[in-house]
Every structure is written in C-alpha cells, then in structure tokens.
Structure 1
Amino acid sequence: MKIKPKQENCNGMPYDFFDQNSNSICFMLSGTGYSYEKPVLYYSRLLLLELGYDVIQINYSFEQQLFEQEPQAISNMVYSVVNPIVEHCLRTKPYTNAVYIGKSLGTLPIIDFYMQQSSLIPTRYILLTPLLSLDHTMANLLDKQAFLAIGTADPHFSQKKIAQLTTLDLAVFDGLNHSLEDASNMIHTIQFCESLFMQLKAYIQKNGPSISM
C-alpha cells in the first residue's frame, strides 16, 4: 500500500504520519537497530494501513550511553520522547480506537506505561520480541491483555516465563531469533513471517471495533 507519509515534528522529535483520514490510529515504536523498513515493522505498517488505520512512526534515536542505564531508566527515557507525540496526535483528531506496536526497545514504554494506564478509547498492544529477561517487564505483563510474538532462539525467550503469560495472545516461533528470523533458512523465515501476520491480522480484527474511513 503506497501512502507517502507526512514528515512531522513534535518537541523536536520527528515522526512519520501516514494519514488515511481514519478514526483509528496506530503508534509504532522501533527497536534499537531494527528500523521501520526492516521486514517485521515494514509489514506491520502495511497491515495496519490495509486495515484502515492512520499510522505514526516515531523516529527516535539515542546515544549509546543511554543503554548503560538501568532498564527502567531506559524505558523512562523512551517514554519521555514518545509520549508528547502520542498525546499531540490524540488531541488533534477524535480517534475512536488505537493500537501500539513495539519492537524490542519499543516495547518498554508500551509495557511499562501505556499498558498500566487507563485509556479513554479502546486500545490494543502488540509486542514484538519484548525483553522478557527483564524482571520489571515480566511483572508489568502479568494479567494484562496484548499480542506477543517471540522466537525460541531469542536471548530474551524463556518457556517458563511464557507459561506465566496466560492472559496474552501468544505467537511463539520455533528457532527464530531476536529479529524474528531463522538465520540459517530464509524459506522458513518467510513461512514464519506469513504465519505471524495471519495471526496478527486475526487478533486485530477479532479484538478491535470495525474500522471506518
């Protein structure tokens, strides 16, 4: 779906706005080295556009020193640059529902803040390779509702921890790494990618209101 984004800025933080004049919005938060043009986020954007959402891609970047802090401090920092854009977009247009999609680093503010807050509109959360090895991440996920995708070769994967997340919609892929790829088999990667987006589309359509544009 070829929609040229508007290049916007809020408080000095750039973001891309894919405007379909929709009443539904998706906020996308990328990983540290996993950009919006890499497969999982690229196809996530295409899926949400196909389903009729406006899409916001927040183009943050951080100095390497940030990652020497405690995990909660890192999460706070990402939230502090993301949230002004989220609040601005939700103020300037009467959206009736929202989706947050995070990849790795981008899942931290979703799990630690947005999933812990009350939302004025129906909101869903999509967590791609969240950092389950972090204690506070697991604590904040318990008894919550979200879609979570991870591979068994991801260093943050733990079968014991996955078993505790009984309220989440889980997509666990055998042998996939932190990029949701099988580094030794490209065909398997493509097959897993198809399965992921079939599950993700079903989750959004099952749990979300009908979309009107």
Structure 2
Amino acid sequence: MTPPDGPITVVLVDDHFVVREGLRALIESFEGFAVVGEATDGEQAVREVQLHRPDVVVMDVMMPRVDGVEATRRIVRACPGTAVLVLSMAEDDEVVFSAMQAGARGYLLKGAAQEEIDRALKAVVAGEAIFGPGIATRVLGLFARGATGHAPPFPELTPRERDVLELVAQGRRNAAIAKALGMAPKTVANHLSSIFVKLQVTDRSAAIVRARDSGLGQGRPS
C-alpha cells in the first residue's frame, strides 16, 4: 500500500549503469515506490541523499573514490532519517560486519529475488533490520564474536584498507605496498588518507602504533 503522504522514496547507488537501470525498473515496478536519485560512488551518494532526503538508499559496497561502507557512515550521520539497504556482491564477513557497524539496516546479495528486495526495502524503512539468506546467521555470529572480544580490529575499514594497514604496520613504504597489492601508488596514498580519517590519527607513525597495538603487522615483509 502506498503511504498516505506519498511513495517510499529511493536513491540508488552503484557504479555500474546497467545495474542502476535494472534496479530502477525493478523498484519502480513495486507498488508505492519512487526512485528520486542515483549515484555512481559514495561521495555522490552523500550529496544525493542530502539533496533528496529519501526514505531509503540502496547501496553498493565496492565503488571508486568513497566506498559504500564509508558512504553509509556519512549518510547515517548526516541524514539519520534515511535507511541504508546494502545490495552487493561482497559477502565476506568483514565487509558485512563493516557495513552494519557503519549503520546499514539491511544487507542483501545481488541476485536476491524481487520479493526479497521489495520486502527488505519496506522493512528497513519501517526501522527493522533485515538480511538475505546466508547473511543473517553470519551477522549474528560476527556480533557474538564482537561481544566476546574476538571481532576483527578496525571494523570501520574496508578489506582493502585493512590490507594496506597490515603492510604499513609491517613497515613497508607505499611503493612496496602498491607492488604487493597490485595497485597504483596513488591508490595506496588514497587508502592511507581514508585510514587516517577512520582511525582518527594524523600521520603514518600514529597509524602504525594503533595497528600494532591491535595485532596487525606481525607478518614479515616479503
């Protein structure tokens, strides 16, 4: 049923045009929904949400510039009335945990059935938490480990940022990190800037101290 004050408004965030077009067509086929904006990365997503103040954001995780986890964190802080539903191919535990820690209310894998997406959108707008098949049990396990002190360190970091921080903690310089991870030195520098912000440190030395205190950097540089 369409709410009396209008349709449920949605912003779509995905760096693939075909995916966004498919999602728009699907969501607008549901009764009581209207897509009011689109974004191709997390930075644009924050702007679109601040502009349109939608009821819900459908958020990808792996995107250029600002990823979906950081975008979720910024959106939840800036627009707490907007729910975030992650729809991603990423299903490893750290990504799921990071997204939920950032404030996402739901997590579905791409390929979810139409009925699942419809139900999930309505659920997160109503303030519920919802997870796709196979995700719910793992999320409960992740939070249980967190309660017993065994959650992975720095859940706010993306898996790639954690890889970079691990190598920084080992004492490697940017060029060596870039070679080890198969990325450009500029990309490493961008990841480091994001890591400094998330860990609330001002320089590389402070990041190394925090990382080593949390058990990172124990491996030997190769």
TM-score calculated relative to the size of structure 2: 0.40
TM-score calculated relative to the size of structure 1: 0.41
Q: In proportion to residue count, which structure has more helix? A: 2
Of the two structures, which has the highest relative contact order with CA contacts closer than 8 Å and spacing of 6 or more?
1
Q: Which has the larger radius of gyration?
A: 2
